[in-house]
Chains A and B, each alone.
Chain A
């Protein structure tokens, strides 16, 4: 009884709280890193070195006036930010943060659920996340958001294909769809899949950038383009939900990249005895460090690269990434059969 209800609920509480805190502090990380890349300091006033800035942002967004356009579809308008945020959060049910830990005499696994189709679950939940964007643009009852949302969703579904094909290559190498099994396969083979499948990792990361509408693929929501994209008519807490949903999606892509390509909770070089002092760092901390590196790379790319035009973006997705992903899959299959 306790194992069926109480333990998962507690795990969900912990994971959701940590995720939401990380999402709010991503805002600060992004502003700081972009500022440093541009030789300035970023937020410095609120708290020491600007550490309390996300709290100020949250308070500002919560007390802002909540405007609904007159002839907007009320239910859909309210539901769209929720539909954007929920898929980003429920993916954490299958991501493994660590193997097992023993507390108060009980053994807890550091993942909420280990379902046998874990990777497909992540892909399917990500494909449902497209609805938030389409419905936001439609419900705003205004031309610019509608066009921007159709563009954004077309971008998302295009890059979904390339990302899913790279994930199939990873499944071929790992031999299982379950996320925990994939990490254990990396543990058994003593090499992380990022080094066996570098092309797949590259395509996954670029596709992840496009899937989360991040620079250089952020045309649908850039302020200089279509007046702010699909969240033009949103203000206050609803806009905050979209904003947070984008950062939550970024953290999801980083976590999934860590789990699939860079060993999840595994310590680097577990065979080298000279580096055994790294064993002090617990498994979930390794997971956090690796995800943080990918988040930093997300922000670094935003600070550095110029924006793609929409037709260049679609050309890249359909004509470059999908053929590369298919070639990668075919070569992986051939090598796997040849090595058997």
Chain B
């Protein structure tokens, strides 16, 4: 019962703040709503028992990526708002209506289409790992079965770092 209350409260906050992110005219407020959204998503991860991922979400997403967005918003301090006049070709209300219809369709399909049992998963089950604890298990998988994606991800981050520096410099 506590799980249900926590889930519905957190979902309400997550979706509410997501709507605020998308609809607020002021960019800085939008970024702040995004931070709050990520914090509530991290709380949802704790509810699901993924504590390591929850703190990684706060550390990397809320404390790193969104700070980067806030920096760029301040460096790009615009004198006139980008959405000063509305475009007649843009059918906003039809767009929102279509999105709501898609959501209702998805929800119905998910709720009523779940007749078959879940298929069996891959060979890396919990019993095969010699460590206990959430962080330890994620670490074990990252360094044994998924070592190559781990190394490739580090190369990706290195390339992104170099690319961002080159793009943002004034003169090379």
The chain A residues found within 8 Å of chain B, CB to CB, are: 73, 76, 115-117, 120-121, 123-125, 127-128, 130-131, 134-135, 138, 146, 150, 153, 157, 177
Contacts and interface: CB of A to CB of B under 8 A. Distances in A.
A150 B135 CA distance: 34
B59 A120 contact: yes
A117 B58 contact: no
B150 to A, nearest CB: 15
Given A128-B62, A157-B67, 16 more contacts: A76-B29, A115-B51, A116-B133, A117-B51, A117-B54, A117-B55, A120-B52, A124-B59, A127-B59, A127-B63, A127-B64, A127-B67, A130-B67, A131-B67, A153-B67, A153-B71
B18 interface: no
Most B CB within 10 A of own CB, among A115, A125, A128, A130: A128
B64 A146 contact: no
Nearest to A160: B63
Contacts of A150: 71, 74
B74 A138 contact: yes
Nearest to A122: B55
A131 to B, nearest CB: 7
A65 B76 CA distance: 34
B107 to A, nearest CB: 33
A130 B54 CA distance: 19
A320 B134 CA distance: 34
A135 B73 CA distance: 12
A116 B58 contact: no
A250 to B, nearest CB: 20
B32 A76 contact: yes
Nearest to A127: B63
B103 to A, nearest CB: 30
B20 interface: no
Nearest to B71: A150
Contacts of B133: 116
Interface in B27-57: 28-29, 32, 35, 39, 51-52, 54-56
Contacts of A153: 67, 71
Contact of A121 (B28, B55, B62, B71): B55
Most B CB within 10 A of own CB, among A121, A131, A150: A131
Nearest to B64: A127
A118 B135 CA distance: 11
Contacts of A117: 51-52, 54-55, 134-135
Q: 5 nearest interchain CB pairs?
A: A127-B63, A124-B59, A124-B58, A120-B55, A124-B55
B133 to A, nearest CB: 6
B10 interface: no
A121 B43 CA distance: 12
B63 A134 contact: no
Nearest to B58: A124
A124 to B, nearest CB: 4
Nearest to A119: B55
Given A120-B52, A134-B70, A128 B58 contact: yes
Nearest to A118: B55
Contacts of A134: 67, 70-71, 74
Contact of A120 (B39, B56, B74): B56
